[in-house]
C-alpha cells in the first residue's frame, strides 16, 4: 500500500472507527488527536491525505489546513466540519481543501471521498510523469565531425520516413540515448510521446508493471488501474535501454506486443491495442546472449530491423575537441562561469586520453573542469590527475584474436608476399618448413 | 547511480594511489559503483581476515570512496582470481573490468581475464612521461 492517510480527530472513538475502517480497506493510516501534532507529523513524514476535524486542541482544522498547504502542497486535506457549518466548509475549500464532510457522517461516505482523492492523486502523478517526459529537451545537438558519426546520422536520416524498429548498439556512454531521441524527433512521430525505460533498473515484476501497466487488484497494493509506458506512448516511440537484461518472460510478452500491436496489462483480461514504435539498445554482445540462450532470437530479429552501431569515442578522435567545446558551452552558464576555451596543453591531454567511459566520461571531465577553473581558459590543472598519470587502453574481448590465429594470418601474408615461395618464407620467418606447412594447414 | 559497476582488479600489495585513484575517478565520472578484487601475487584471491595490512587497505579504499561518493564493495575469498572475477561478472552488473598497472603488466593474468570477460577490459600503465602542468600555456 503506498497511499498514506493521517487522521486528525480529537474524539478518540470517532478516530478509532475511521482508522479501523481505512485499515480494513488496505490504507496505511496514522492517527492523532492534536492539530499541532498532526502538523509536526506532516512536516517530518509524507502523507497523501489528511482528514482534519475543524475543532481540535493545539491547532484548529482550518489553521492546520493552511499550514499543511504550505509545508506539503501535495497532501490532500478533507476537513470535517460541524453540522450545518456552511461558512467553515466554504473557508476550507477556499484554503485549498480537497473536500469537506459535515458531521455526523457515514463512514461509507468518507471512504468514497478518500477513494476519489486517491484515484485523482494517482492520475495526477501519472500526468506529472507524462508531462515531464513530453517536456524533455527537444533541442538535440549531435556532435558528428568524424566520418563514423556522420555515417550514424546518415542511417538515421535514411529511416526518418519509416516506422521500423531500431536496435542501437555500442559501449556504455557512446550516446545511444541521444541517438534514440534523434530517431524519434526526426520521424513522423515527433509530435507524439517519446518515452524511455531502462530495463536493468527494475525487478521483473516492477518492469512488467511499468511497461504494460496493471489492472486494479492485480497484486497487493494495486489500488487503481495504472497505465503502462506502452499505453502512454501510443502513437509515439518507446525506447528500451539495456534490452538484453529483460527476463525470458518479459521477452516473450514484448515479442507478442511488437508482433500483434496489443498486449495485456498485468492482471488484465482484455487486450490493449497500441501503435508504438520501438527503439531498443544494448551494450552487450547480443549474439553471445542469443548463443547462450539468454536472449530470444525471434525477438532479436524483430528489434533488429535496423541496427545502428555507435562507435566508441576513441575511434572517432576528431569528435573530441568539438565535444569539449560543446560541453564547455553547455555547462558554463550553470556554474556562472565565463570560460572562453581550453589551453593547448589541456586539449593535448584531452585528445590523448582513451575514454573507457566514452562521451559520458568526457562530459563529466569538462563539467568538473568548468567548476574548478578560475581563469578564462581550462588548463591541465583543472583536469583529473589520473588522466595525466596513466596510459589507458580498452580491449574488447570479442575483438581479441588468439595468438595462433594472428601468427597464421601473418605467415599466410608472408607466403603470399613471396609469391608462394615457402622455403624463402620459412627462412625469413625463422621457422622450419614443417612448422610453416603445419601453420598453413590449420585453416 | 545506474546500478552498474566497474570491477577493479589489483594486487593487494600494489601502491594503492596508483590504480585505486583512477578506479574511483572512473566510477565517479560514469556514475557507477566500484567493486574491488584484491589478490595475492600467486594469483589466489585475498582472504579478508588475513594480516594486519588487510584492514588498513580496506579502510583506505572505503574512505576514499566515501569522500568521492562512490559506492564500493571489496572482495575477498579463497578462490583464484579468475574464479572470483568470473563469479562476480556472472552475478553483478559489471560495465567495465579495470586492471591495475601491475595486473596489466602480468600478461598471463591479463590474457586469462581477457578470455573470460564478456565486458570491455581496461588496462592501465604508468605514463612514461609525466605531462607538465604548466600554467599559462598557449590558448587554443
Is A121 a member of any domain? yes
Cα A169 versus chain centre, distance: 17
Is A315 a member of any domain? no
Distance between CA atoms of residues A233 and A369, nearest Å:
38
* Residue the block writes with cell 546472449: A289
Last residue of a domain, one of A274, A309, A344: A309
Q: Quick one: closest CA in A to B139, which residue? A: A343
Is A141 a member of any domain? no
Query: Tens digits of per-residue pLDDT, A38-90?
Result: 999 988 888 899 999 988 888 888 889 989 988 888 889 999 887 566 667 77
CATH of the domain at A379: 1.10.8.60
Same domain, A303 and A328: no
CATH of the domain at A13: 3.40.50.2300
The residue segments making up the domain with residue A397 are: 322-441
**For the whole model, what pTM was predicted?**
0.67
Q: Which residue from A151, A20, A128, A152 is spatially nearest to A73, judged by alpha carbons?
A: A128
**How confident is the model over A287-306, as a mean pLDDT?**
91
Expressed in angstroms, the distance from the first to the final Cα of chain A is: 64
What domains, with CATH codes, occur in chain B? 5-134 (3.40.50.620)
Same domain, A77 and A174: no
Q: Which residue from A260, A141, A133, A140 is spatially nearest to A192, judged by alpha carbons?
A: A133
pLDDT band at B134 (very low <50, low <70, confident <90, very high): very low
Is A139 a member of any domain? no
Q: Quick one: closest CA in A to B95, which residue? A: A172
**How confident is the model over A213-232, as a mean pLDDT?**
84
CATH of the domain at A153: 3.40.50.300
Is A173 a member of any domain? yes
Query: Tens digits of per-residue pLDDT, B41-82?
Result: 765 554 444 444 567 778 888 988 888 888 999 886 566 777
**C-alpha distances out from residue B64 to B32, B69, B102, Å:** 15, 9, 21
- Percent pLDDT > 90 in chain B is 20
Least CB–CB distance from B114: residue in A341, A379, A397:
A397
Sign of the torsion angle spanned by Cα atoms A27, A30, A36, A37: negative
Same domain, A298 and A329: no
- Say yes or no for a CB contact (<8 Å) between A397 and B124: no
Same domain, A364 and A304: no
Least CB–CB distance from A381: residue in B30, B115, B133:
B133
Distance between CA atoms of residues A342 and A73, nearest Å:
46
Distance from CA of B4 to the nearest CA of A (A): 9
| Three-state SS sequence of A229-251 | HHHHCCCCEEEEECHHHCCHHHH
Same domain, A151 and A251: yes
Angle at B89 between CA B88 and CA B93, to 5 degrees: 100
Same domain, A287 and A364: no
Res B130: pLDDT: 38
Same domain, A181 and A219: yes
**Residue A406 above 70 pLDDT?**
no
Res B77: pLDDT: 57
Is A132 a member of any domain? no
**Residue A281 above 70 pLDDT?**
yes
Is A316 a member of any domain? no
Which positions 388-427 of A are in contact with B (Cβ < 8 Å)? 388-397, 400
Res A164: pLDDT: 94
DSSP letter for each residue of A355-375: -TTHHHHHHHHHHHHHHH--S
Same domain, A114 and A173: no
Distance from CA of B93 to the nearest CA of A (A): 9
Same domain, A294 and A329: no
Torsion of CA A247, A252, A256, A257, to 10 degrees: -10
From chain B, pick out residues whose CB is under 8 angstroms from the CB of A356: 26, 96, 98, 120, 122
- Say yes or no for a CB contact (<8 Å) between B29 and A360: yes
Res B94: pLDDT: 92
Query: Tens digits of per-residue pLDDT, A2-36?
Result: 789 999 998 898 899 999 999 988 889 999 999 99
Contact yes or no for B58/A422 (Cβ under 8 A): no
From chain B, pick out residues whose CB is under 8 angstroms from the CB of A377: 139
Last residue of a domain, one of A309, A339, A367: A309
Same domain, A112 and A155: no
Least confident stretch, A123-132, A304-313, A429-438: A123-132
Same domain, A177 and A271: yes
Same domain, A120 and A220: no
Domain count, chain A: 3
Residue A366's Cβ-side half-sphere holds a number of Cα atoms within 13 Å equal to: 28
Is A166 a member of any domain? yes
pLDDT band at A401 (very low <50, low <70, confident <90, very high): low
Distance from CA of B120 to the nearest CA of A (A): 5
**How confident is the model over A424-438, as a mean pLDDT?**
88
CB atoms under 10 Å from CB of A234, counted, come to 15
Res B43: pLDDT: 52
Grid cell of A278 as nine digits = 520501438
Amino acid at each position: 500500500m503506498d497511499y498514506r492517510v493521517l487522521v486528525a480527530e480529537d474524539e478518540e472513538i470517532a478516530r478509532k472507527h475511521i482508522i479501523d475502517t481505512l485499515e480494513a480497506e488496505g490504507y496505511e493510516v496514522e492517527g492523532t488527536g492534536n492539530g499541532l501534532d498532526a502538523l509536526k507529523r506532516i512536516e517530518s513524514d509524507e502523507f497523501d491525505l489528511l482528514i482534519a476535524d475543524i475543532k481540535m486542541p493545539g491547532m484548529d482544522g482550518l489553521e492546520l489546513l493552511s499550514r499543511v498547504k504550505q509545508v506539503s502542497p501535495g497532501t490532500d486535506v478533507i476537513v470535517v466540519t460541524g453540522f450545518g457549518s456552511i461558512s467553515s466548509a466554504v473557508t476550507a475549500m477556499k484554503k485549498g481543501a480537497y473536500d469537506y464532510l459535515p458531521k455526523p457522517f457515514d463512514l461509507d461516505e468518507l471512504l468514497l471521498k478518500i477513494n476519489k482523492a486517491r484515484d485523482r492523486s494517482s492520475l495526477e502523478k501519472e500526468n506529472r510523469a507524462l508531462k515531464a517526459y513530453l517536456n524533455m529537451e527537444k533541442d538535440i545537438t549531435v556532435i558528428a565531425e568524424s566520418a563514423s558519426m556522420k555515417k550514424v546520422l546518415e542511417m538515421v536520416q535514411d529511416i526518418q520516413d519509416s516506422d521500423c524498429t531500431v536496435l542501437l548498439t555500442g559501449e556504455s556512454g557512446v550516446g545511444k540515448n541521444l541517438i534514440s531521441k534523434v530517431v524519434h524527433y526526426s520521424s513522423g512521430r515527433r509530435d507524439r510521446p517519446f518515452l524511455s525505460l531502462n530495463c536493468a533498473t527494475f525487478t521483473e515484476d516492477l518492469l512488467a508493471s511499468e511497461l504494460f501497466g496493471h489492472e486494479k487488484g492485480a497484486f497487493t497494493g494495486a489500488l487503481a488501474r495504472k497505465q503502462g509506458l506502452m499505453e502512454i506512448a501510443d502513437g509515439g516511440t518507446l525506447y528500451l535501454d539495456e534490452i538484453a537484461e529483460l527476463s525470458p518472460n518479459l521477452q516473450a510478452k514484448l515479442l507478442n506486443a511488437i508482433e500483434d500491436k496489443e498486449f495485456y496489462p498485468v492482471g488484465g483480461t482484455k487486450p490493449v491495442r497500441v501503435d508504438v514504435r520501438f527503439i531498443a539498445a544494448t551494450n552487450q554482445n547480443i549474439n553471445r546472449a542469443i548463443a547462450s540462450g539468454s536472449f530470444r532470437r525471434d525477438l532479436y530479429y524483430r528489434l533488429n530491423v535496423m541496427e545502428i552501431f555507435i562507435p566508441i569515442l576513441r575511434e572517432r578522435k576528431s569528435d573530441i575537441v568539438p565535444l569539449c567545446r560543446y560541453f564547455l558551452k553547455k555547462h558554463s552558464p550553470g556554474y556562472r562561469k565565463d570560460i572562453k576555451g581550453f589551453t593547448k596543453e589541456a586539449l593535448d591531454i584531452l585528445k590523448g586520453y582513451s575514454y573507457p567511459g566514452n562521451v559520458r566520461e568526457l562530459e563529466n571531465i569538462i563539467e568538473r573542469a568548468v567548476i574548478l577553473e578560475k581563469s578564462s581558459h581550462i588548463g591541465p590543472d583543472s583536469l583529473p590527475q589520473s588522466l595525466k598519470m596513466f596510459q589507458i587502453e580498452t580491449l574488447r574481448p570479442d575483438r581479441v584474436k588468439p595468438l595462433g590465429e594472428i601468427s597464421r594470418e601473418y605467415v599466410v601474408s608472408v607466403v603470399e608476399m613471396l609469391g608462394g615461395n615457402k622455403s624463402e618464407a620459412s627462412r625469413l620467418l625463422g621457422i622450419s618448413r614443417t612448422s610453416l606447412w603445419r601453420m598453413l594447414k590449420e585453416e | 547511480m545506474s546500478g552498474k559497476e566497474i570491477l577493479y582488479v589489483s594486487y593487494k600489495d600494489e601502491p594503492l594511489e596508483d590504480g585505486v585513484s583512477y578506479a574511483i575517478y572512473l566510477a565517479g565520472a560514469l556514475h557507477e559503483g566500484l567493486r574491488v578484487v584484491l589478490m595475492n601475487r600467486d594469483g589466489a584471491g585475498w582472504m579478508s581476515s588475513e594480516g594486519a595490512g588487510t584492514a588498513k587497505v580496506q579502510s583506505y579504499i572505503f574512505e576514499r570512496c566515501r569522500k568521492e561518493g562512490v559506492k564500493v564493495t571489496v572482495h575477498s575469498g579463497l578462490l583464484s582470481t579468475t574464479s572470483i572475477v568470473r563469479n562476480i561478472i556472472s552475478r553483478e552488473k559489471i560495465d567495465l573490468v579495470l586492471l591495475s598497472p601491475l595486473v596489466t603488466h602480468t600478461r598471463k593474468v591479463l590474457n586469462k581475464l581477457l578470455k573470460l570477460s564478456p565486458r570491455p577490459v581496461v588496462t592501465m600503465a604508468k605514463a612514461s612521461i609525466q605531462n607538465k602542468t604548466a600554467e599559462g600555456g598557449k590558448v587554443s
